[in-house]
A and B are shown apart, each in its own frame.
Chain A
Amino acid sequence: MALGAVYAVLFYFAVAIFAIGLAFRIRLYSRTPAPLKIPTTPAPVTQAGVVVRMAKEVIFFESLFKANKWTWLFGWVFHFALLLVLMRHLRYFTEPVWFWVQWVQPFGLYAGFAMVAGLAGLWVRRFAVERVRYISSPSDHLMLLLLIGIAATGLMMKYVAHTDILSLKSFILGLIYFDWQPIPTGPVLLAHLSLVLLLMIIFPFSKLLHAPGVFFSPGRNQVDNPREKRHFVAPPKAAGE
Chain B
Amino acid sequence: MADFDTPDISVPIEIPTLDRGAMHHSSPFPAAPDHQEALGFPGELVDDWQSKAINKLGELLGKSRALQVYMDSCVKCGACTDKCHYFLGSSDPKNMPVARQDLLRKVYRRYFTFAGKHFPWLVGAEDLTREVLDDWYTYFHQCSQCRRCSVYCPYGIDTAEVSMAAREIMDHIGKGQKYCNEIIGKVHKIGNNLGLPEAALIDTLEGLEEDIEEETGVKVRLPVNEKGADILLVTPSADFFAEPHVDGLIGYAKVFHQAGVSWTVSSYASEAANFAMFIGSYEQMQKIAERIRKAAEDLGVKRIIFGECGHAWRVAYNFMNTLAGPFDFLDSNYPVPQHICEFTNDLIEKGELTLDKSKNDHMTLTFHDSCNVSRGSRMGDKPGGQFTIPRAIIKACCNNFHDMAADAINENTFCCGGGGGLLTDDLLELRTKGAAPRMQALKEVVDEHGVTHMAAICAICKSQFSKVMPKYGFDMDNVVSVHQLVSNAIVLDGQTANENAAVE
Contacts and interface: CB of A to CB of B under 8 A. Distances in A.
A64 B123 contact: no
B154 A206 contact: no
A137 to B, nearest CB: 4
A41 B113 contact: no
Interface in A66-84: 66-68, 71, 75
Interface of B: 15, 17-18, 40, 55-56, 59, 61-66, 68-70, 72-83, 93, 96, 98-99, 102, 113-115, 121-124, 147, 150-158, 161, 282-283, 286, 317-319, 321-322, 325-326, 335-337, 374-378, 381-384, 386-387, 411
B18 A134 contact: yes
Contacts of A205: 113-115
Nearest to B82: A131
Contacts of A125: 78
Interface in A203-241: 205-207, 209-210, 213-214, 216-220, 224, 226-227, 230-232, 235-236, 238-241
A139 B123 contact: yes
A131 B78 contact: yes
11 contacts: A29-B68, A37-B318, A37-B322, A40-B375, A42-B378, A130-B18, A134-B93, A207-B72, A219-B150, A219-B157, A236-B282
A213 B70 CA distance: 8
A210 B80 contact: no
A45 B379 CA distance: 12
B443 to A, nearest CB: 24
B20 to A, nearest CB: 9
Contacts of A137: 76, 122-124
Interface string A133-158: 01111111010000000000000000
Of B40, B121, B154, most A-chain CB atoms within 10 Å: B154
A36 B318 contact: yes
Interface residues of A, number: 63
A66 B66 contact: no
B305 to A, nearest CB: 13
Interface of A: 25, 28-29, 32-38, 40-45, 57, 61, 63-64, 66-68, 71, 75, 122, 125, 129-132, 134-140, 142, 205-207, 209-210, 213-214, 216-220, 224, 226-227, 230-232, 235-236, 238-241
A209 to B, nearest CB: 4
Contacts of A44: 383
Contacts of B113: 205
A202 B15 CA distance: 35
A36 B79 CA distance: 26
A22 to B, nearest CB: 12
Nearest to A202: B115
A147 to B, nearest CB: 12
Contacts of A206: 115, 123
Given A38-B161, A210-B73, A61 B154 contact: yes
Contact of B282 (A28, A66, A122, A235): A235
Contacts of A64: 77, 79, 152, 154
Given A71-B78, A134-B18, A213-B73, 8 more contacts: A34-B64, A57-B156, A63-B79, A134-B93, A134-B96, A206-B123, A216-B65, A217-B155
B473 to A, nearest CB: 30
A125 B82 CA distance: 14
Contacts of B114: 205
B156 to A, nearest CB: 3
Of B66, B99, B386, most A-chain CB atoms within 10 Å: B66
Of B286, B321, B326, B384, most A-chain CB atoms within 10 Å: B321
Contacts of B72: 25, 207, 209-210, 213
A230 B317 CA distance: 11
A114 B251 CA distance: 60
Given A131-B78, A207-B75, A231-B321, A41 B374 contact: yes
Of A37, A75, A134, A227, most B-chain CB atoms within 10 Å: A227
Nearest to B372: A41
Given A32-B62, A35-B322, A41-B411, A216 B69 contact: yes
B420 to A, nearest CB: 15
A226 B317 CA distance: 7
Given A42-B411, A134-B93, A210-B74, A232 B155 contact: no
Nearest to A143: B75
A219 B158 contact: yes
Of A35, A135, A220, most B-chain CB atoms within 10 Å: A135
A232 B286 CA distance: 13
A71 B79 contact: yes
A226 B324 CA distance: 13
